[in-house]
Amino acid sequence: MLTLYIGNKNYSSWSMRPWVLLQQSGIPFKEVMVRFDSFDAGSQFKATLQGLTPTGKVPLLVDGDLAIWDTLAIAEYLAEQFPEKHLWPADRAARARARSICAEMHSGFTALRSNCPMNIEAQLPEIGALTWRDKPGVRADVQRLVDMWGSLLQEHGGPMLFGTFSVADAYFAPICMRLKTYALPVPPAVAAYVDRVCALPGVQDWITQALAEKDFLDFEEPYRLTP
């Protein structure tokens, strides 16, 4: 069976992507949660991953003797191993577009990701309002999302970005969490897509388990001193 190493569900946006992809697609896997005690070289987190991945980071997918440690690589591996799950769009052009936006997420949206870290348990609309006012990079990132999602939803008719659920929706699920946590303003059509992503059974499972963790990590909490 596949084994997926992840971090704390409340905070680990990168872990959320392959976990939701597996869960929503009905692909059996074993989960190993590696708690974010610290990212220092001597931490238990690093010790647990030592010898499994050269990066010392999560997520990590292990299939027998094979370890895959990048989220896009994990998605591509799963798509190859489970072609019947149709994890990428069937149409060649749509598939290329889906890969493009996932790659853009992988390397972009840095202002939104750095100023609005994922924190599913928290509700931070006041922080979101200040960030929206003071951080033009965040506004630019959200506008890019609005343009991207709006165009794809219109082109493919929803309910997901390419019609049915795909890697792209799993990839942007943590962004949906951020938009919710910080109450960042988006048009109704985009807000409706965010709600549909949050309602997916695989995403609901992740949210429920994130809320049950109750593991407050101060180094992951730039905006709160206590839970």
For residue range 74-121, list pLDDT tens digits in order.
Answer: 999 999 999 999 999 999 999 999 999 999 999 999 999 999 999 999
Q: What pLDDT sits at residue 81?
A: 98
Give the pLDDT confidence score for residue 130 in this predicted structure: 98
Q: At what angle do helices 136-156 and 92-107 cross, to 10 degrees?
A: 170
Question: Which residues have CB under 8 Å from 55's CB, separation 6+?
Answer: 69
pLDDT at 161: 98
What whole-number distance in Å separates Cα of residue 139 and Cα of residue 137?
A: 5
At 99, give phi and psi (nearest 5°): -65, -35
217, 11 in Cβ contact below 8 A?
A: yes
Residue 187 pLDDT:
98
Place of tokens 């033009």: 136
Alpha-carbon distance of 60 to 114, in angstroms, equals: 22
CA 174 to centroid of chain Cα atoms? 4
For the chain, residues with pLDDT lower than 50 are: none
121, amino acid identity: E
Measure the CA angle with vertex 137, ends 134 and 142; round to 5°: 105
pLDDT score of 160:
98
Return the axis-axis angle of helices 167-181 and 92-107, rounded to nearest 10°.
Answer: 40
Task: Spell out where the chain has E strands.
Answer: 2-6, 29-33, 60-63, 66-68
Q: Please give the radius of gyration of the chain, using alpha carbons only, rounded to the nearest integer.
A: 17
Dmax over CA atoms of the chain, in Å, equals 50
Residue with token string 């896009």:
72
Pairwise CA distance, residues 76 & 82, whole Å: 10
* Sign of the alpha-carbon torsion through 107, 178, 217, 51: negative
As given in the structure block, the two tokens for residue 136 are 């033009």
pLDDT at 56: 95
